[in-house]
Amino acid sequence: MSISDNTRTVLQQADITRALTRISHEILESNKGPDGLIVLGIPTRGVTLAERIGAQLAEISGHAVPVGALDVTMYRDDLHRNPTRTPHPTQIPAGGIDGKTVILTDDVLFSGRSIRAALDALSDIGRPAAVRLAILVDRGHRELPIRPDFVGKNLPSARQERVHVRLIEVDGVDEVTIAS
């Protein structure tokens, strides 16, 4: 389905739901259950995805998994280019992250710089046993040696293309589009 001549939809609501369900199963399998898991999303849409994954993990396993948010604004290496970013609250679940397996969640993995900033932010909060990366869309073009553990969709794209993730909770619709 085409939104305009230069934009095409690559994932619709059912595709996103299916990808998040698969990611949730993979997380539980790799962790051998829900024990010791914490899901942290990177604002804005990463938090929404973390909440959905947390709900899926609870539904599948029958045990609640703590979910929170990790703001990376002040850890970014491009603040000088865009100093007007609005920080979002960091919300770490009770009990902290020490000794836990943190599932860091974001919508799109591109250069890897947001994830690097998230790792720096995590190190200021505590010392997790492990950090795993869950991404809805991996579009390539890494500038740093960062690789996701759980991927909803690999979406090869040209560097000049834009990938947009829209989620019902934020945007009123679930879809992933790519624009040239």
Q: What is the DSSP string of 15-45?
A: HHHHHHHHHHHHHHHHHTSSTTEEEEEPTTH
Residue 2 scores a pLDDT above 50: no
Q: Percentage of the chain surpassing pLDDT 70?
A: 94
Cα angle vertex 144, ends 139, 147, to 5°? 55
Structure tokens at 100: 């836990």
* Rg from Cα positions in the chain: 16
Q: Which residue has the tokens 């945007």?
A: 171
pLDDT at 1: 45
Whether residue 54 contacts residue 82, with contact meaning beta carbons closer than 8 Å, is answered with: no
pLDDT digits (tens, 9 = 90+) for 86-130: 788 999 999 999 999 999 999 999 999 999 999 999 999 999 999
Residue 163 scores a pLDDT above 50: yes
Query: How many Cβ atoms sit within 10 Å of the Cβ of residue 176?
Result: 23
- Measure Cα distances from 82 to 121, 144, 166 in Å: 19, 20, 22
Q: Which band of pLDDT confidence, cut at 50, 70 and 90, is reported for residue 80?
A: low
Q: In whole angstroms, what separates CA 96 from the centre of its chain?
A: 19
Structure tokens at 109: 């993995």
Taking residues 24-32, report their average pLDDT. Answer: 98
pLDDT at 85: 67
Query: CATH class for domain 14-76+94-158?
Result: alpha beta
- Contacts of residue 172, defined as CB under 8 A and 6 or more positions apart, other chains included, come to 166
